[in-house]
Amino acid sequence: MQTILDILRKSSDFLARKGVENARFDAQQLLAAGLGIGRMDLYLQFDRPLDEAELARLRDLVARRGRREPLQHILGSVGFRGLDVKCDGRALVPRQETEQMVEVALSFATAPSGRLLEVATGSGAPVLAFAQERPGWSCAATDLSPEALALARENAARNGLEGRVEWFQGDLLAPLAGSGPFDLMMANLPYIPSGDIDGLQPEVRDHDPRLALDGGPDGLDLVRRLLKEAPALLVRGGRLVLEIGHDQKEALSAIAREALEWSLEGFRRDLEGVERIPVLERL
Question: For the chain, what are the domain ranges?
Answer: 4-67, 77-282
Instruction: Give me the torsion for CA of 217, 93, 91, 27, rounded to 10°.
Output: 120
3-state secondary structure of 81: coil
- pLDDT digit string (tens) for the chain, length 283 residues: 899 999 999 999 999 999 999 999 999 999 999 999 999 899 899 999 999 999 999 999 999 999 999 999 999 999 999 999 999 999 999 998 899 999 999 999 999 999 999 999 999 999 999 999 999 999 999 999 999 999 999 999 999 999 999 999 999 999 998 787 999 999 999 999 999 999 999 999 999 999 999 999 999 999 999 999 999 999 999 999 999 999 999 999 999 999 999 999 999 999 899 999 999 999 9
The pLDDT assigned to 280 comes to 98
What is the Cα–Cα distance from 164 to 66, expressed in whole angstroms? 38
Contacts of 66 (CB under 8 A, 6+ apart): 14, 15, 18, 20
Looking at the DSSP bridge assignments, the partners of residue 137 are 114
CATH of 4-67, one of 1.10.8, 1.10.1060, 1.10.3470, 2.20.25: 1.10.8
Pairing type for strands 137-143 and 114-119 reads parallel
Contact 244, 276 (CB under 8 A): yes
| Angle at the Cα of 222 from the Cα atoms of 203 and 233, rounded to 5 degrees | 125
The pLDDT assigned to 108 comes to 98
Q: Do domains 4-67 and 77-282 have the same CATH topology?
A: no
CATH of 77-282, one of 3.40.50.150, 3.90.470.10, 1.10.275.10, 3.30.70.1450: 3.40.50.150
The pLDDT assigned to 113 comes to 98
The pLDDT assigned to 83 comes to 98
| Angle at the Cα of 76 from the Cα atoms of 75 and 77, rounded to 5 degrees | 100
The pLDDT assigned to 255 comes to 96
